[in-house]
Structure 1
């Protein structure tokens, strides 16, 4: 019966009159198997992708928390810090107050790299987006567009779950929202639960969002290449345009511009058959 209804609702004269929520329910409950095999990750590739995204996200968390810890120690008692930590603490204090990343008196190429290094101690940068977005998509099982538009506004449910409203995009002008409840889990499981990872993202972007006034979760510091530096370098890229996701360079993440090393170049996961050998190359006929 439901299959017959879905067939009728695909008629051009009827589908525009059907609420988007109902049509989406039919599609999800009665999804047709694809007529042809579609590309995707093998189980082993997905496992390696997940492990790589989780490891890189963990490194980002350690980096920013280390910067916050040094800033805290500098503000509490700068006299307890050594020479290099004292210098870094002073720089972090200035950035935290003003949002402005300093420009060292060096050659332009060196200056750009040094400014990124300074900013990376307190703020997310372009290179951080790919692993964060990838891990959020995997853990929440949501598509990239929904992840890019994650809101800041949310509600905690007894510290066990977080409730928020997701944007769900549809073809044409249809655009509606879905309220979801995500498990938070234990502190040491933040990288494994959707609610824990969402709250962790808000922690990592808190300073940047304060400077650019973002209402969505993602905010980064971008190194302006036109020579202007200031608070405007804090930016919510996906509020401006979801298409800015192409600048994340997902295909080159961790791969130096080529395929990421965790796809196809690692040994197969446990229980996964090894890849077939490449076909033999055709031999050129010899000239006589």
Structure 2
């Protein structure tokens, strides 16, 4: 996968990710990386087992330094979510049924709506080995559960954060707009450019006796143009294709890269100076 791009806008908004008593620094680092991938930056840790800061978390964060640097540590879950208005608890286990259970898609949309309204929102993730306790789930407003294989339902903490972070970003695609999701500008080709490409291609094929027998050439040309005009090419794509054809015209398969065919050496006349 491609690395970071310092020339693009760094997304750093969204729900707080709250890890309750995370055990391994490596997992915290992978969580930070997952968050950064999808534009989240606020990481809160409740009583991390190995303390904070953590060198292993830094090493596995894969340059998600802004997430690591901004991480806050709390002694209790109550303190970690005290300033938030709405919180989801993630869990794969069946609970008592007193709280609504949402899918990741619905949860992300709810978080997005509340975030737009100015509310503080967060998502709770439990310990690597056994998740959140019932008492901790009780502090959340709703539950989010992932659709997983019932016989193999365990997700590691970084995977769970990645899934929710992805759904968060997906829920805001309309907000991302021109600045955040700018694809490279592509200018549609004109018909004149397309016809020029056709002419160049047909000349190159004609020189190689592609249109054989000659009587079938008109039909073969029609078929070729039909195939190549099924979609609208951009100017850049036409340029690439014409460059390929030009290269084929310059260099043959037998003598690639501009090498010339070896010149035949003329047979030297016999030396008759011996007088024999």
TM-score (norm 1): 0.20
Structure showing the higher helix proportion among its residues? 1
